[in-house]
Structure 1
């Protein structure tokens, strides 16, 4: 494997082939290369997990709204901190939807 390093000697880029950018050879089982690859994979996993969290927040918003609409729970039964967060999210969503910055595809197809 061939690598490109930054000014401090840290691996920035890896290539299977020698390129103008990646011109230093490291064995594929090199501890330094394996650490770099694991770190990159961990970052990708974390980014995917965070994106999933953002989508799941929307699901929770919809579930809370549905439960309140059906009278299963009352807004005032939520802990005060939860009430604040729900109101903040509703306010932000309303403002952003008014500016057409948030695409609300979910509401059109009836899927939560």
Structure 2
């Protein structure tokens, strides 16, 4: 059964599988308010979809800043360096298989 956070009007504004300081109210999984909240989430264009595009924008921005010597790659935190290197390697591998279009990085089927 999920735990929810409610606003001052009593509307559900967040859901969690576990109880914590914010998600204190236990509700039935079939609760009508919970169903409405979850439906709104699925009907709204998800942040995850736009996040995928933003990741590529940030990668390109970082590459540009490094290329123009505004920052050094080693200025980035080690975790960021590892993630960027892994994504760069994955893109190179996909290009070598001709699965990516060079123009925009889209997968070619």
Give the distance between the partners of 2:34 and 2:103, measured in 1 at CA.
Answer: 40
Give the distance between the partners of 2:91 and 2:54, measured in 1 at CA.
Answer: 15
What stretches of structure 2 of length at least 5 have no aligned partner?
Answer: 1-30
Give the distance between the partners of 1:102 and 1:39, measured in 2 at CA.
Answer: 35
CA positional deviation for 1:86 = 1.1
Residue aligned with 2:46, SS: helix
Paired position in structure 1 for 2:20: none
CA positional deviation for 1:76 = 1.4
CA positional deviation for 1:102 = 3.1
CA positional deviation for 1:43 = 2.2
Residue aligned with 2:100, SS: coil
Matched residues, number: 75
What stretches of structure 1 of length at least 5 have no aligned partner?
Answer: 1-30, 108-112
Paired position in structure 2 for 1:49: 47
Paired position in structure 2 for 1:36: 35
Asked if 1:65 is matched to 2:81, the reply is no
| Greater fraction of residues in helix | 1
Query: Structure 1 residues 96, 44: CA separation in 2 closer, same or farther (over 3 Å shift)?
Result: farther
Ranges of 4+ aligned residues in structure 1 off by more than 2 Å: 34-38, 100-107
Residue aligned with 1:106, SS: coil
TM-score normalized with structure 2 length? 0.57
**How well do the aligned residues superpose, as a CA RMSD in angstroms?**
2.2
